[in-house]
Amino acid sequence: MKKNKKMLAGEETPVVNDISAEGLAAVTGQSEAELFSFVEYHPEEAERIGYSEYSYWKSVWKNFLKKKSAVIMLVVFLAVFIFSFIAISPLCTKYRHYTELESNKKARFTTPNKDYWFGADNIGRDYWYQVWYATQHSVMLAAIVGVGEVVVGVIMGLLWGYVRKLDRIFTEIYNIIYSVPTIIYMTLIALMIGKTFMIMCVSLIIFNWIYTAKNIRNLVFMYRDREYNLASRCLGTKLGTILLKNILPYMISVIILRMALAIPQTIGMETTLAYLGLLDVQEPALGLLLRNSREQFANYPHILIFPAVIVSLITVTFYLAGNAFSDAADPRNHV
Amino acid sequence: MEKQERNVILSAKDVFVQFSLRGDRLTAIRGCSLDLYEGETLAIVGESGSGKSVFTKTFLGMLDANGSITGGSIMFEGEDISKLKTEKEWRKIRGGKISMVMQDPMTSLNPLKRIGAQVEESIKLHQGLSGAEAKKEAIRMLDIVGIPDPERRYNQYPHEFSGGMRQRVVIAIAVACHPRILICDEPTTALDVTIQAQILDLIRRLQEQFGMTIIYITHDLGVVANVAERVAVMYAGQIVEIGTAEDVFYNAWHPYSWALLSALPQLGIKGEKLPTIDGTPPNLFNKITGDAFAPRNKQALAIDFKLEPPFFNVSETHMAKTWYLDPRAPKIEQPTSIKQLSERMNMDYGDTLKHPHEDPNRVPVITVKDLNVTFGAGRKKFVAVDKVNFEIYKGETFALVGESGSGKTTIGRAITRINPATEGEIFFKGEKISGKISKEMDQKVVRGIQMIFQDPLASLNERAKVSYIISEGIRNLKMYSTDEEREEMVQAALKEVGLLPEFASRFPHEFSGGQRQRIGIARALIMKPEFIVADEPISALDVSIRAQVLNLLNELKTTHGLTYLFIAHDLSVVRFISDRIAVIYKGKIVELAEAEELFRHPVHPYTRALLSAIPNPDPAIERKKKLLVYDPTQHDYSVDQPIWSEILPGHFVLGNERELSDYRSRL
Amino acid sequence: MKKLLAFVLAAAMVFTLTACGGGSTPTTEAPKTTTTAAAPGTTASGQTTAATPETTAPPAPAANEVTDWVHYLTQVNEMETFNILYSQANKELQVLTNCIDGLLSNDNYGNLVPGLAEKWETTDGGKTWTFHLRDGVKWVDVKGTEKADVTAEDFLWGLEWVLNFHKNEAANTSMPIEMIQGAGDYYNYTKELDEAAGKALGIDKLKEMVGIEAKDAKTLVYTCVDKLPYFDTLTTYNCLYPAAPQLIKDLGVDGFKACTNENMWYCGPYVMPTFVRENEKVMTPNPLYWNKDCKRFNSVTYKMVESGAQAYQMYENGELSYVELTEDALLTIHDNINHQFYQNLVEARPTKYSYQIHLNWNKNMEKSEDPDTNWNTAVQNEAFRLALYYGLDATPYLERTNSINPLKCANYCYTMSQLVNFSSGKEYTERVMELIGITPSLDNYPRYDAAKAEQYKKQAMEELAAKGVTFPVLMDYYISGSSTTAADTAFVFGEMIKKNLGDDFVKLNTLTYVSSLANEVRKPRKASIYINGWGADYGDPQNYLGQETYGEDNAYYSISYVNTNDITEPELIEIYKEFTKMVNDAKNITDDMDKRYEAYAQAEAFMLKHALCIPWYKNVSWQLTHVNDYSKIYAPYGIQTNRFVNWETSKDGYTTADYDTFAASYEAGAGK
Amino acid sequence: MLKYTIKRLLQSLLTVFIVVTIVFLLLRLMPNDYYFTEDELIKLTDEQKEDKLRAAGLLDPTLTQLGKFYKNLLTKGDLGTSRRISNGQPVWELIGEKFGISMRLGLIALGIALLIGIPMGILQARYKNGIFDHLGTAYTIFINAVPRLVAYSLIYMLGVKLFKLPSMYSIRDPGRSSILPIVCLAVGSIASYALWMRRYMVDDLTKDYIKLARIKGVSTRGIMFKHVMRNAFVPMAQNLPVTFLLTIGGSLLVESFFAVPGMGPLLTRAITRYDTNVVQALVLLYSVMGILGMFLGDLLMSVFDPRIRLAGKGGETR
């Protein structure tokens, strides 16, 4: 309350109790005659005073920055991700490529020390390099899935929402994908085509886009019959342009949210797939390190801890950041 | 002056309310004072953003979480309620002492609880009744607020009620608390005109029955004239003028009050410009120096920009916060429109205007023949437009008036080809434009017929720059050769609607409602159309801004030789702007006539009901007027089918033979 | 027709979740140190008629013995069938061997001992074999209620079932068809029948067509296709197990095929009242078991664990009676002298599989990254092979299997040790090692000879360069894409090759297959090398060496893996032909087993000297256990290994010292 | 209402049909060798393999097989027998024996999750931005974001090392040995229920009718219990049956983790072992459960929400 009073005193027009000529002159520095005369009217000025300084993206950004936990996590994540490049550069390691790792009988399961900063694995390979390399790999592949899923999902979702004829087909596809555990399809694909991470990425995209699409479709329903779209139709704007210019821009926050959430989801899926043996062991990924650590962490916790901490950092970051962003992007929260 | 003897029931002094918004502080109420007398009806009028709602919410401690009272006091029953903090303290006030009816009846009821239980909740809380007694009382309350068959309705859910009925329930809930003060926050804005009148009636009745003090919050001067004993005008977080209804309507002194009143389309003279208030209300984030209205005031004094005026008494009951009343101020006359308010309101133009139907050379721009628009299929089938016929002639403004859901918008959209016509035909300059048409024809329609939309917030793409929005149509039809040319066209269109060229590079959210509506008009205009469907272009706008838009539309009509289909739900607005008026009810046009003819000789009972329900911003008339209620069951069409017939030249009405002869006899 | 009981892909457990291969199939061996005067001076075809085969001492459990044994298997090794005649997989047979007995069994040295047959003989060098069934053997149901006697005819029903295409879908047919007269014809005959007729068949047609006869209720006679001096060893294999005709009748053909622990009949030491798929199964002693003298547990419980780590966890909590150690657990215990289990680390006995590096003579070069016929040309060069043979110090690789005593896993022969013995008591593989000049050692890897390797390498590079081979030669090696263990091992393998032979010579190129080695790699001939193991089906070296011969259709490895018949290098063809002749000569010696084995040993030595394949390792793992492994049945062939009979156990868990004693006394008893 | 229900059910049947057919055909796309184990591939000649396949009817044209599958299913309710998981055992029997256990654990976990998750969400919403809310949010974020494998590993470690709980489910001691699997099953659901409840309640608290209730003078507690809770529950009601049915379906990770002999791992095992009949039956089961769940969800929601009368007669009386 104190603070408010202070602000009042500072901000508001001084209350003029004395409206005698002297009083007025004291405050305004102008004579009575001057004060009580008409001034010229400027219509442009009137037009201008209404501007709101509100800018959507600026507010989004400002609100996002307010979510300290998300921002901190994001900064930490970025630092970690950038560091992962340093970590596997010659500055920190003697290895230049994953295939150059060496086993060392004496270093098996070594706990972290000055030679092996993250310790070593079951055959004495440097865990530091593996973890950081896998981090990059996983993040990049998760990003591919995120982007792929969203790109496909958005395109399909826009069509689904806008072209009424397609609704039935898309709904059926949705039911088909939704009502059967994805793992069935994933396993079949793994058996039929292979289980390299790329294949798994593509199949994850194939089975996840529909959720984004459904999300987008619901939003399209929300915006489709808004007056500005009717206006565009009156103006003869083509469907593609309407989707691109009128609808898509409104989806950006959702799109970013989906992308952000796709990353923890993909990494989670990666661990599950690895656990089920549906991931090729030749390609390093955090999921694989985690699943391998399952056997060993009881005796050598560092095998679990390092990848688990990094995985958690990544997933929590994107989860938080995604949600923080979507909160921030909601105009209702621009308070 | 009997009011003086009344007790002050609530007294607000110098109330300040601030909100923290996007990291900034917004001062929504800037030192507002008000004495409320017991048993009176006070109306607080103002545009959106004037702080009228926020101010009254402070009486209930219902400010949003980011807002707080930062100064002043509100004395109620010997206690400064502005200092109350906890829910518990406030609960002593809420409901039982002060209660409130909110604007939107569709959202104010819990959709998952039975009506009865919701009313009962109030009764149990505040009347100490329980069980069967409470139920009895709840049913009684439902009966009192005019819900037919209250015992059955008691067990129903909100979605089974229409908007008007829901508002009655909300009122029942508020009144069942037996409050001393009832705040009605735009209680009728969301309702149709005919329902609105009934609700106002109801509240008045309840006030007498329960002896409540009522605060109305509204932007509609018609409502004010209807209900209020005293009127407070708010602008930019301050009450700028307060007095009895007569004081404010007939003898206003604040320039803003003047502007507000004179901008009413009802007061306009056909063919003349309405007086307008340019610009928009100030941004409350900024520091306001002097009189907040000064920048928009065409006759501002220098001191208005420097110092905030104090209240000057006009009479014992009437105060205004303007330097005009300072004896040192130059002499200023009240505008003529204010002085002649009552004459203007009831002016009959009938004889002075020419009758378009007498013009033999008139050409139809749009011809609608047996138009039928149906949505859905099977059981969900809904006939929105049912066999509608009319012609719109070149250069005229044809108004289509009806309640929500009457199908008026659907007709507009059928003409612009947004909704396809199910049956019937539509012609544009003699060429058929309904059904499947060629690509060239389609382009012709796009060019020739444009639309202006109701909601300036929803009708502009928020994520596109103004230049793109305006040029969208010409881009589609490639109506320019170079980008520079396109930009020039955009600039020209902006200028034409009175906006600054620099606006082209901005985004819609930076503009006020009126400005946005003008952007919408520019967007249509740039296509050089011949015919414009204006779908309630002013109903979502504040009073002060309506005039700007109406003037603009009228001006463009002459400069561009436009023809309008003007869709509205409010007959009073339409009278000013339109040449001919069609009244539509549930998909059928029931009466069509030249504007003045319709006002003079309304024959169809629905038209008559509509006319009687128009809130008239003249307290003298408004208080005396008698409300007609339209009951569609009064028509007996079981034997004799209604036909569309011309009972006078240019005056059509829907009715069967018996009704028609009755109508004729009334002329 | 391929024969072989068990065959194991090198460390490639297709959906194994564990990093420790051992956890999945703990195949450990044979019982009782004390008693069992096993057939003395035996040749494998012991016409022993030892009257008191399995026991001398009464089986009263000592105070410190474990009475309720808790075993574990990993979940992927859950049983898929209870029909012992149908099962071809160790995961079922290791359990079912406790439920149904065969004619003969093994002792803890791998010698044949009487089972349902109390004595057996052949009089014509192995052409016909007569088995005399003992009295009082009953079929019982899961509750232990007597159902029927086990008669000689039951073995006819059993064989009928196996050979009947419509009943057993060709499962377990390969060895009967190969060895028993008329079996192949009968199989083909049933195949011609339609399904209903086939299922309706009794044993009449079998009697008529196949060389099996029930002389009377207790006498069973088999007639072989040829003189097979080792035929009796085949009776420890489930393809010659009995089936109760009454049960087949009761359940119907489909019902018998899909019989369960609840409705099947038992004649083995245990019945299984509880079976919860992928969780646990409990066996209790069969009250009417014929061998009242054998020592059994009050109950045997199998827990189906998720991983080796979980098993270790459970052992720590006292929930299991033994655990095979995962590499991390082993290391933890071994590195910490104060560890509670430090004293308890004991080495298991080797499993019965002998692992080799098989060299593909005709790799499909189109699918390889390597140019042209690089690999095929190189591998057919003897110097190249010998460079590999002498140049690889397998120690790091063996450490993957046994990190503490890697050289215990070293395998220098093609045939698995302890398969057969000379009459002198000399073990067959010892003779082979003599011939190839290798003395096993726990200090260094004896086959590794850097100088020789260098010399051969030089020679190979010169010779091959002349043939246009480019170096390094890429060695395509396929592992399961889901096995980390395999990946780690391959990694070590690659490093090892690089270190031993230098990366200018050969380079291991590790690739992965998705789910089926056979479909994805073997059939399209994509790999340069395979590392896999072979376990014997019956007790004769023929079962090993016969898989590698040249130009013979039933030489399994030659045909299915290494494409021997596609060899183009004439010199190598000659070597192969010579080898094949040596094997066949040995096969035809049926009267003198010593001579026979000597001939096989010579052939095997010949094969190894030319490095036709490279013996690689055997499985010896570490464990914590309450059982003396040396007291368990040791079965180098057949399905007897995992029988829970006559186990010597200790509630305290054995220590390293205990095991040293056991091993010593076992060695001392060997060959007697 | 009835007509609508029937229409919905027919539509659902169509979806099930499509799903099952797709999976059926997908399975038939695999090379025949997948029907055999590595062992069998080694042991059987090509001729024998073909014989075996013919005996099992797997060499018929795919469409014939499909026809036969549906004929057996529709006329006899017969989905065939397992080939690999449990040779010769009817598929329904196999699934039946696992279903019970998964259901029991699933239901207990679901119950616990509802009992903890919902009050947690309510309290979080009630004391928004308080310590409890922050803790709860941290929990939900952790559980939702971090891969389940990591979370389960932690629970496993804690449970086994610290509380000495059995690490493996045992039918003989279902009480103690179910604790860890149930905890693992519940942690995720608790998080999602708490999240939902909190989100919907926070959303609802800004609604007009809540304002009206406050204006009436209803206490915060009254608002929470009489107005918000039930309303927030409605959107949850829609999802509840699906969650419920899928819970019964068993959790792959948890069940294999703790060796629970339930439905979860059956599916992957059936696929990897190529036990086609089992896969088909499971797909049929899961899709029926999924679609039934959606349907029941709508039904349940219509019970809670009077506005939704499944395309029934309109309620608007003016």
Task: Write out pLDDT tens, residues D70-118.
Answer: 998 888 888 888 888 888 888 988 888 888 888 888 889 989 998 999 8
d(CA B617, CA B261): 8
Question: B326 to chain A: which residues are within 8 Å by CB?
Answer: 19, 36
| Chain C contact partners (≥3 CB pairs within 8 A) | A, D
d(CA C4, CA C352): 13
Phi, then psi, of C263 in degrees rounded to 5 = -105, 0
* Angstroms from B90 CA to nearest CA on chain A: 19
What radius of gyration, in Å, describes the C-alpha atoms of chain D?
24
Q: How many residues does chain B have?
A: 667
Beta-carbon separation of D41 and C310 below 8 A: no
Chain B segment 111-150 residues within 8 A of D by beta carbon are: 111-113, 121-122, 125-126
D30 in the Ramachandran plot: left (φ > 0), alpha (ψ -120 to 50) or beta? beta
Q: Could you tell me if C312 lies within 8 Å of chain A, comparing CB atoms? A: yes
Q: Could you tell me if D191 lies within 8 Å of chain A, comparing CB atoms? A: no
Question: A264 to chain D: which residues are within 8 Å by CB?
Answer: 144-147
Phi, then psi, of C394 in degrees rounded to 5 = -75, -5
Rounded (10°) CA dihedral A143, A146, A150, A152: 90
**Which residue matches tokens 């599989």?**
C353
Instruction: State the complex-level ipTM.
Output: 0.79
Q: Find which of D150, D204, D279 to mutate to test the A interface (most A CBs within 10 Å of its CB).
A: D150
Bond into D119 cis (ω within 30): no
pLDDT, average across residues B363-367: 90
Task: Write out pLDDT tens, residues D25-82.
Answer: 888 887 777 788 777 776 677 777 887 787 777 888 888 889 988 998 888 888 888 8
Task: Write out pLDDT tens, residues D271-306.
Answer: 888 888 998 898 888 888 888 888 888 888 877 777
Q: Of B24-33, C43-52, C163-172, where does mean pLDDT reach its minimum?
A: C43-52
Q: Could you tell me if B319 lies within 8 Å of chain D, comparing CB atoms? A: no
Beta-carbon separation of A280 and C481 below 8 A: yes
| Strand, helix or coil for residue C47 | coil
| Distance, C-alpha A281 to centroid of its chain | 28
d(CA B511, CA B517): 9
d(CA B656, CA A149): 63
* Angstroms from B92 CA to nearest CA on chain D: 7
- Domain residue ranges of chain C, discontinuous segments joined by +: 2-11+29-284, 356-618
Phi, then psi, of A4 in degrees rounded to 5 = -60, -40
Question: C312 to chain A: which residues are within 8 Å by CB?
Answer: 298
Confirm if C149 and C267 have CB atoms less than 8 A apart. no
Q: Determine the pLDDT at residue C57.
A: 46
| Distance, C-alpha C249 to centroid of its chain | 34
Task: Write out pLDDT tens, residues A57-114.
Answer: 777 888 888 888 889 988 998 998 898 888 888 877 777 777 778 888 888 888 888 8
Question: D211 to chain B: which residues are within 8 Å by CB?
Answer: 62, 102, 108
User: Number of helices and strands (H, E) in chain A?
Assistant: 15, 0
Q: Could you tell me if D164 lies within 8 Å of chain B, comparing CB atoms? A: no
Q: Taking 60 as the threshold, does the pLDDT of residue A15 lie above it? A: no
Beta-carbon separation of A275 and D149 below 8 A: yes
Q: Which domains does chain D have, with CATH numbers?
A: 94-315 (1.10.3720.10)
Confirm if C536 and C636 have CB atoms less than 8 A apart. yes
Of D311 and C462, the one with more pLDDT: C462
Task: Write out pLDDT tens, residues B438-470.
Answer: 888 888 888 899 999 988 888 898 888 899 999
Beta-carbon separation of B162 and D317 below 8 A: yes
In order of B124, B487, B604, C87, the CA distances from B446 in angstroms are: 60, 20, 36, 78
Query: In which element (H, E) is residue C558 found?
Result: helix C556-560
d(CA B266, CA B617): 8
Task: Pick the closest to residue C535 from C3, C2, C7, C1 (CA basis).
Answer: C7
Q: Determine the pLDDT at residue A48.
A: 60
Nearest CA in chain C to D91: C258
List, edge to edge, every strand of the sheet that includes C346-347.
C322-324, C622-625, C346-347
Answer whether B touches C (≥3 Cβ pairs < 8 Å): no
Beta-carbon separation of C306 and D166 below 8 A: no
Of C36 and C298, the one with more pLDDT: C298
Helix C245-257 / helix C152-163 crossing angle, nearest 10 deg: 20
What radius of gyration, in Å, describes the C-alpha atoms of chain A?
29
Confidence of residue D192 (pLDDT cuts 50, 70, 90): confident
Q: Find which of A123, A129, A302, A303 to mutate to test the C interface (most C CBs within 10 Å of its CB).
A: A123
Q: Determine the pLDDT at residue C371.
A: 66
Q: What percent of chain A has pLDDT over 70?
A: 87
d(CA A61, CA A253): 11
For the ranges A109-113, C196-200, D197-201, the maximum mean pLDDT occurs at C196-200
Beta-carbon separation of A24 and B303 below 8 A: yes
d(CA D282, CA D280): 5
For C275, residues 6+ apart whose C-beta sits below 8 A from its C-beta are: C260, C261, C262, C281, C282
Task: Write out pLDDT tens, residues B22-60.
Answer: 677 888 898 899 999 998 999 999 888 788 889 999 998
Q: Could you tell me if D163 lies within 8 Å of chain A, comparing CB atoms? A: no
B159 closest CB neighbour out of D214, D230, D306: D306
Q: What is the CATH number of domain C356-618?
A: 3.10.105.10
Mean pLDDT of chain B: 86
Residues pairing with D92 in the sheet = none
Tell me the HSE value of B104 on the side-chain side, using a 13 A CA sphere.
7
- Domain residue ranges of chain B, discontinuous segments joined by +: 104-178, 356-560
d(CA B137, CA B140): 5
Buried b (16+ CB within 10 A) or exposed e, B277-304: bbbbbbbbbeebebbbbbbbbbebbbbb
**Maximum distance among all Cα pairs of chain A, rounded to whole angstroms:** 100
* Angstroms from A117 CA to nearest CA on chain B: 45
- Chain D positions contacting chain C at CB under 8 Å are 31, 33-34, 37-45, 48, 51-52, 55, 81, 84-89, 97-98, 160, 164, 166-171, 256-261, 265, 269, 272
Q: Taking 90 as the threshold, does the pLDDT of residue B357 lie above it? A: no
Q: Could you tell me if C514 lies within 8 Å of chain A, comparing CB atoms? A: yes
Beta-carbon separation of B165 and D230 below 8 A: no
Q: What percent of chain D has pLDDT over 70?
A: 94
Nearest CA in chain C to D258: C306
Confidence of residue B345 (pLDDT cuts 50, 70, 90): low
Q: Determine the pLDDT at residue D116.
A: 93
Percent of residues in chain C assigned helix, strand, coil, to nearest 5: 35, 20, 45
Phi, then psi, of C340 in degrees rounded to 5 = -60, -25
Instruction: Supply C298's token pair.
Output: 């009050």
Q: Could you tell me if B378 lies within 8 Å of chain D, comparing CB atoms? A: no
Beta-carbon separation of A282 and C399 below 8 A: no
d(CA C509, CA B121): 79
Confidence of residue B352 (pLDDT cuts 50, 70, 90): low
Task: Pick the closest to residue D108 from D203, D27, D35, D185 (CA basis).
Answer: D185
d(CA C420, CA C427): 6
Q: Determine the pLDDT at residue C2.
A: 37
| Distance, C-alpha A95 to centroid of its chain | 32
Phi, then psi, of C515 in degrees rounded to 5 = -140, -25
Q: Determine the pLDDT at residue D271.
A: 82
* Angstroms from C582 CA to nearest CA on chain D: 26
Residues pairing with C509 in the sheet = C476
Instruction: Supply C589's token pair.
Output: 């010696």
Q: Could you tell me if D15 lies within 8 Å of chain A, comparing CB atoms? A: yes
CATH class of C2-11+29-284: alpha beta
Confirm if B357 and B526 have CB atoms less than 8 A apart. no
d(CA B628, CA B610): 8
d(CA C483, CA A274): 10
d(CA B222, CA B614): 8
d(CA D270, CA D257): 17
Return the CATH fold of B356-560.
Answer: Rossmann fold (3.40.50)
Q: What percent of chain B has pLDDT over 70?
A: 96
Q: Could you tell me if B437 lies within 8 Å of chain A, comparing CB atoms? A: no
Q: Could you tell me if B102 lies within 8 Å of chain D, comparing CB atoms? A: yes
d(CA B34, CA B11): 6
Q: Of A63-67, A126-130, C395-399, where does mean pLDDT reach its minimum?
A: A63-67
Flag whether the pTM goes above 0.95.
Answer: no
Q: Taking 70 as the threshold, does the pLDDT of residue C3 lie above it? A: no
In order of B314, C546, C561, the CA distances from C10 in angstroms are: 105, 20, 14
Question: C191 to chain D: which residues are within 8 Å by CB?
Answer: 51
- Chains A, D: CB contacts under 8 A, how many? 118
d(CA B28, CA B58): 12
Q: Taking 80 as the threshold, does the pLDDT of residue B286 lie above it? A: no
DSSP for B310-351?
A: --EESSSS-EE--GGGSTTSPP-PPPHHHHTHHHHHT---TT
d(CA D124, CA D122): 5
Q: Where do the H-state alpha helices sit in B211-361?
A: 221-227, 245-250, 255-262, 336-339, 341-345
Confidence of residue C73 (pLDDT cuts 50, 70, 90): very high
Q: Taking 60 as the threshold, does the pLDDT of residue C638 lie above it? A: yes
Q: Taking 50 as the threshold, does the pLDDT of residue C18 lie above it? A: no
Question: D225 to chain B: which residues are within 8 Å by CB?
Answer: none
